[in-house]
């Protein structure tokens, strides 16, 4: 399974920020941490982890929001959509909010993290679950498994 039907386009609710993804994702995930619950106003956030060199903002200038902490959460300055994150210490990836894609109907989280913080009724179709998150070394096997088995655009 390798047909990703790239490039993908996406943007915020108002259209002020647009982006393009030109590299296949490394992984898809749902995060149940309380921070993501609050940032997304939902039970969990949905993420597509893509290589930084395969991601580009094509319109507008997103702003850093959230707590301005080590993870840089980027938002549209007008509609305030949380669009993507530059994780601290992982400059080689961008975590894109899956529902920001123009066509996100194919999306399914392959892993879920921070299930120790999930709401009791929240569930996903993720293949792998972690109480917190895997060590950085643990992502290699997950990325390999996702390359073989992860959901693809229809």
pLDDT in the model for residue 1:
45
Distance (Å, whole) CA 75 – CA 47: 15
Residue 147 Cα to chain centre, angstroms: 16
CATH architecture of 8-149: Alpha-Beta Complex (3.90)
Quote the tokens at residue 141.
């096997």
Mean pLDDT per 10-residue interval, the chain, length 154 residues: 85 98 97 93 96 98 81 92 91 95 95 97 96 91 94 83
Backbone angles phi and psi of 63, in degrees to 5: -120, 155
pLDDT in the model for residue 136:
86
Q: Are the CB atoms for 120 and 68 separated by under 8 Å?
A: no
């Amino acid at each position: 399974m390798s047909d990703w039907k790239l490039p993908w386009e996406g943007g915020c609710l108002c259209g002020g920020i647009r982006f393009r993804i030109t590299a296949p994702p490394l992984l898809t995930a749902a995060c149940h941490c309380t921070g993501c619950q609050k940032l997304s106003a939902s039970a969990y956030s949905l993420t597509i982890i893509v290589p930084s060199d395969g991601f580009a903002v094509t319109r507008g200038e997103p702003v850093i929001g959230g707590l301005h902490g080590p993870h840089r959460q980027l938002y549209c300055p007008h509609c305030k959509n949380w669009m993507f994150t530059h994780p601290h210490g992982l400059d080689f990836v961008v975590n894109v909010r899956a529902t920001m894609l123009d066509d996100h109907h194919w999306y399914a989280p392959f892993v879920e993290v921070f299930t120790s913080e999930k709401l009791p009724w929240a569930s996903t179709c993720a293949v792998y679950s972690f109480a917190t998150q895997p060590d950085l070394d643990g992502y290699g096997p997950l990325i390999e498994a996702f390359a073989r088995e992860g959901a693809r655009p229809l």
